[in-house]
Amino acid sequence: MPTETNWLNPREARAWRIFVNAHKQLEARLHRLLLQDFGLTGADYEVLAVLSEHPTGRIPAQDLRDLLEWEKSRLSHQVRGMEEEGLIIREPNPADGRSAMICLLPAGRRAIQEAAPEHVANVRRHFIGLFTPAELDTFAALNERVLNHLAEEPFPGAIRS
Amino acid sequence: MPTETNWLNPREARAWRIFVNAHKQLEARLHRLLLQDFGLTGADYEVLAVLSEHPTGRIPAQDLRDLLEWEKSRLSHQVRGMEEEGLIIREPNPADGRSAMICLLPAGRRAIQEAAPEHVANVRRHFIGLFTPAELDTFAALNERVLNHLAEEPFPGAIRS
DNA sequence: CGGAAGAGGTTGAGACCTCAACCATACATC
DNA sequence: GATGTATGGTTGAGGTCTCAACCTCTTCCG
């Protein structure tokens, strides 16, 4: 155990600060646009995006959670809210009495179809469009190293389903 | 206005997904370690870090907000909580009757001094240590492009102080 | 069968964060 | 100086997310 702390030097501190801020501010901007222009939160959009990509628009709650990497209670709260708004609906899963199917309603499909073009355009404008294809790959590889390292050292209770 | 949506191709989608996930998961892990090992939230840590870097441990609330890039109501709520925990305290600012000084208390200094070494070590382990200095610079430059672009296109009501 | 263990989901409490409304003080301009 | 405007800060409501406790249904195994 080092009693002396190995503080970040300026180069390291800069890289860390910019890494954190870039994501935070971009996410905030995109969520804000989404909410202001279409009345959808980022969470709403993610759920609708997954459901609308499925041809049937119906998937088991468990699968949805795995795709989103969400906790089960989070999905439960989120789904309750979206059900009240009439975007989706819960139905019993005939294959397993404990499970639920999450089903896209017409209003939900309409909402994602309206929002997606502008949202994708915003992602292009604020992120994709800033880089060449080669830079995108470099960027992804660097970020991926962070993800892989986290996955290698799992946390006690990492995904508490 | 394009009626046809320019969807992300696989390379673009991958870069975007990994960019979002890397930050989200790393932040979650670090905050969790901080909370579990020292009972400090990420927000607590940030406030204490800024205060403890100031020799006097006392700075005007406005300066704190600027440094953290926080909304004023957020700082107000956060400060109230930390005041109840005895980490910091609010004092009137003699230079301006509207303003407040945020002051580090001994318990707050102790808390950050205990937590900082491990937190910095965690940042090293999960982020800095994964890259060469040159890679760090590359990474920072890419992230910086995102930040700069956001700054160029300010949002209506961007930092609503 | 029948009971234990486990998985899927819900709920409620509490922390965090944003927004809008509000209060008090300072500043500007006449 | 008096009035209008801007600034610093607080408050309360509401949405988001996590955690722990709980309930139901399934599965396993004697």
Q: What is the pLDDT of residues B140-151, one digit of tens each?
A: 999 999 999 998
**DSSP letters for A9-35:** PHHHHHHHHHHHHHHHHHHHHHHHHHH
pLDDT at A137: 97
Nucleotide nearest to A78 (CA to C1'): D16
pLDDT in the model for residue B2: 54
Whole-number Å distance between alpha carbons of A56 and A127: 31
pLDDT at A6: 85
Q: Which of A5, A14, A135 sits opposite B120 (nearest CB)?
A: A5
- Identify nearest nucleotide to residue A74 by CA to C1′ distance: D17
What's residue B152's pLDDT?
A: 85
Spans in chain A with pLDDT lower than 70: 1-3, 154-161
Window 97-136 of chain B: CB closer than 7 A to strand D: 98-100
Using an 8 Å CB-CB cutoff, list chain A residues near B131.
15, 142, 145
CA of residue B99 to C1' of nucleotide D4, angstroms? 21
Kindly report the bases of strand C lying within 7 A of a protein C-beta atom: 6-13, 15-21, 24-27
Q: Which residues of the protein have their beta carbon within 7 Å of strand C?
A: A 28, 32, 60-62, 65, 72-73, 75-77, 79-80, 90, 93, 96, 98-100, 161; B 41-44, 70-71, 73-74, 77-78, 81, 96-98, 160
The pLDDT value given to residue B157: 46
CA separation for the pair B126, B32 (Å, rounded): 13
User: Could you tell me if B108 and B51 are in contact, meaning their C-beta atoms sit under 8 angstroms apart?
Assistant: yes
Helices (DSSP H) in B39-89: which residue ranges?
42-53, 61-68, 72-84
Render each residue's pLDDT in chain B as its tens digit; 161 residues.
556 788 999 999 999 999 999 999 999 999 989 988 899 999 999 999 999 999 999 999 999 999 999 999 999 999 999 999 999 999 999 999 999 999 999 999 999 999 999 999 999 999 999 999 999 999 999 999 999 999 887 665 444 44
φ and ψ of B112, to 5 deg: -70, -35
DSSP A66-113: HHHT--HHHHHHHHHHHHHTTSEEEEE-TT-TT-EEEEE-HHHHHHHH
CA–CA distance, A18 with B150 (Å, rounded to integer): 13
Residue pairs spanning A and B at CB distance below 8 A: 141
CA distance B158 to B12: 27
- Substitution target in B139, B149, B152, B155 with the highest count of A β-carbons within 10 Å is B139
Q: B12-152: which CATH number, 1.10.10.10, 2.30.130.10, 1.50.10.20, 3.50.30.10?
A: 1.10.10.10
> In 10 A of CB A45, how many CB atoms?
20
Buried b (16+ CB within 10 A) or exposed e, A86-125: ebbeeeebeeeeeebbbbbbeebbebbeebbbebbbbbbe
CA atoms of A36 and B31, how far apart (whole Å): 29
Name the minimum distance, in Å, from the CA of A103 to any CA of chain B: 24
pLDDT in the model for residue A2 = 54
Under an 8 A CB cutoff, do A5 and B117 touch?
A: yes
- C-beta atoms surrounding A70 within 10 Å: 18
Rounded to a whole number, what is the distance in Å from the CA of B33 to chain A's nearest CA?
A: 9
SS3 B103: strand
Domain edges within chain B:
12-152
Which of A141, A22, A147, A132 is closest to B15 using CA atoms? A141
Q: Is the CB of A155 under 7 A from strand D?
A: no
Q: Which of B14, B144, B150 sits opposite A26 (nearest CB)?
A: B150
For chain D, which bases have at least one atom within 7 A of a protein Cβ? 7-13, 15-21, 24-27
Question: Residues B98-132: pLDDT tens digits?
Answer: 999 999 999 999 999 999 999 999 999 999 999 99
Closest to A23 measured CA to CA, from B17, B161, B45, B80: B17
CATH architecture of A17-152: Orthogonal Bundle (1.10)
Of A71, A83, A72, nearest in space to A44 by CA: A83
